[in-house]
Structure 1
Amino acid sequence: MTAGIKTITYPVKDLAGAKTLFNILLEAEPVMDEPYYAGYRVAGQDIGPEPHGHGKGMTGPLGHWHVDDIEASVKKLLEAGAETVQAIQDVGGGKLIASLKGADGNAIGLIQPACRKRGPGPLFRRSSGPGRPGAHASRIRTSIRPR
């Protein structure tokens, strides 16, 4: 099930310059401001200048569909002829993202919010990346332990 496109990321080469531009455009400061990413939330929409986007194959803004089960969504899209651009990865706190390309070359972004407990599956890629040392599947596990 999808909750629609709620996040748009923009590939940028200069994060500081992009933040200046988005601060003016959105009339807001980032709600998340890290060396590897800045995130804005305006009118229920998440906006993110992505400094590593070009290296991930992004050529322009990417809308991300929010889904309940990213593994199932990726599998269905691959079966329908899509190609993986960026494998499923944990970008922190259990939030999972992936991007694909449809038969016409259109980019498809997916996000599974962190609220859903998931473990590594066949399509899941453990990841640590710039600014995210140690981000991997174990970060998804809940902190509640059985008594």
Structure 2
Amino acid sequence: MTEGMKTIIYPVKDLARAKALYSELLGVEPVMDEAYYVGFRVGGQDIGLDPHGHSKGMTGPVGFWHVDDIRSAVSALLGAGAEAVQDIQDVGGGKLTAIVKDSDGNTIGLIQAA
């Protein structure tokens, strides 16, 4: 079902300030630097900053599991008791994301590559 958790996205309010902090913390410059998302790659791990994350229901960092078929993954998780937080959406270039939460309120992100 999954290829593993390869992405962690942080909801941020001040993207420029967060970008400066994470650039310093990670010791690298962003591989993607847009007004809607800043992304870093360190050792095969993607770290993202989302200035719209809070409005999408993110209350803290969310680990995203990379899946081959996001629709079947979301369906399976909902069938196993998860609750939808963010419906499947195209975040650019055909990449799809969704967020669900488990019965304890823990968020689970899913990403399907383009």
Establish whether TM, by shorter chain, passes 0.5: yes
- Residues of 1 paired with 2:11 and 2:32: CA distance? 17
> Greater share of strand residues, 1 or 2?
2
- Residues of 2 paired with 1:35 and 1:76: CA distance? 33
For the aligned residue pairs, the C-alpha RMSD in angstroms reads: 0.6
> TM-score when scaled to structure 2?
0.98
Structure with higher Rg: it is: 1
* Residues 1-147 of structure 1 aligned to structure 2 (within 5 Å): 1-114=1-114
- Residues of 1 paired with 2:11 and 2:49: CA distance? 6
- Residues of 1 paired with 2:49 and 2:43: CA distance? 17
Once the two structures are TM-superposed, the CA of residue 13 in structure 1 deviates from its matched residue by 0.3
Once the two structures are TM-superposed, the CA of residue 15 in structure 1 deviates from its matched residue by 0.1
Counterpart of 1:79, as a letter, is: G
Once the two structures are TM-superposed, the CA of residue 57 in structure 1 deviates from its matched residue by 1.0
Segments of 4+ moved more than 6 angstroms: none
> TM-score when scaled to structure 1?
0.76
Unaligned runs of at least 5 residues, structure 1: 115-147
Higher relative contact order (CA 8 A, sep 6+): 2
Counterpart of 1:66, as a letter, is: H
Number of matched pairs: 114
- Residues of 1 paired with 2:96 and 2:22: CA distance? 24
Counterpart of 2:56, as a letter, is: K
